[in-house]
Amino acid sequence: MAHGARTGRGALGLDRATRTLTVAAIDSVPLFREGLSAVVSRTPGLRWGGHAASHHAGIALCDQLRPDVVLVDSALDPHGHLTHLLAEGHPMLAVTVLVDSARRTAAYLATLVDAGAHGVLPRTVDPRQLAEGIRRTYVERHYTDPTLAPLVPKQRTGEASPTRTPMPLSRREYQVLQLIAEGMENSAVADTLFLSVETVRTHVKSILRKLSARDRTHAVTKAFRSGLLVVSPGEDEARSPRL
């Protein structure tokens, strides 16, 4: 993720540099989410779209809202799985990870690069730098805050980072597994994801096979132990925009 890439010229580049951007966040800390909302809402050229407090809700939020930029709390994505699913599922979305002090390491930033993150900013970034980072990440598609740039590995073309555990599940299977971990039965999962119960059963069978699990409980246990699932405190539903 190279710091300092330049905006493309021409009409498309001008549009990317001047349009109003919709920004969303996936963060489990209510006070921090309120702070992000306040900064974005008062910044010209940015519009607050909403927030989510968990992986499942974050994926659903991006599916429904289609924001230009999503801010992801690094504590919710210690292995880059959420970043990978968001970047892969929404090619036009600029995924920006807010890195806390515990994960301010070269190894973690290598994980984010491999997962497809477009931008990385410190979680302690000030409001002005946050606004600048959001805009530059969207325009340049590869942006690293100057304070983190020395930690970003310079990888050779075609060289994959060894730090991120591969994601064994599809995006939909990942959502199903998260809801199972929350204690939902197949019917509730189906209602939440707007799927048929039979489709959910098919996803569950695939999850058990891919994780080599005996049953649903065993699958959830293995997913938490391997880091595929992480504990996400707080609410787990996306909130609507505040106007």
Residues 156-161 have a mean pLDDT of 45
User: Residue 167: pLDDT band by 50, 70, 90 thresholds?
Assistant: confident
Burial of residue 235, with CB atoms counted within 10 A of its CB: 0-12 exposed, 13-18 middle, 19 or more buried = middle
> Do 101 and 183 reside in the same domain of the chain?
no
User: Residue 43: pLDDT band by 50, 70, 90 thresholds?
Assistant: very high
State residue 205's pLDDT score: 94
State residue 103's pLDDT score: 93
Residue 80: helix, strand or coil by DSSP?
Answer: coil
How large a percentage of the chain has pLDDT more than 70? Answer: 83
Residues 49-70 have a mean pLDDT of 93
The CATH number for 201's domain is 1.10.10.10
The CATH number for 111's domain is 3.40.50.2300
State residue 243's pLDDT score: 33
What is the rounded radius of gyration, in angstroms, for the C-alpha atoms of the chain?
A: 18
Residue 127: helix, strand or coil by DSSP?
Answer: helix
Q: Are 33 and 51 in contact (CB under 8 A)?
A: yes
Least confident of 70-79, 112-121, 161-170: 161-170
Residues 44-65 have a mean pLDDT of 93
pLDDT tens digit sequence for 171-220: 889 889 989 998 999 999 999 888 999 999 999 999 999 999 999 999 99
> Do 176 and 131 reside in the same domain of the chain?
no
User: Starting from the edge strand earliest in sequence, which strands make up the sheet with 21-26, in order?
Assistant: 46-52, 21-26, 69-73, 94-99, 119-122, 143-144
| Residue 137 in this model has a pLDDT that exceeds 90 | yes
Q: Which amino acid, one-letter code, is at 100?
A: D
> Do 147 and 178 reside in the same domain of the chain?
no
| Residue 153 in this model has a pLDDT that exceeds 70 | no
Q: Is residue 49 part of a domain?
A: yes
pLDDT tens digit sequence for 98-108: 999 999 999 99
* 117 phi-psi bin (left φ>0, alpha ψ -120 to 50, beta other): beta
User: Residue 56: pLDDT band by 50, 70, 90 thresholds?
Assistant: confident
Q: Specify the DSSP element, H or E, that contains 35.
A: helix 30-41
> Do 129 and 200 reside in the same domain of the chain?
no
Count: domains in the chain: 2
Q: Is residue 23 part of a domain?
A: yes
Phi, psi torsion values for 118, nearest 5 degrees = -95, -25
Q: Which domain holds residue 91?
A: 12-151
State residue 229's pLDDT score: 84
| Residue 236 in this model has a pLDDT that exceeds 90 | no
3-state secondary structure 145-173: CCCCHHHCCCCCCCCCCCCCCCCCCCHHH
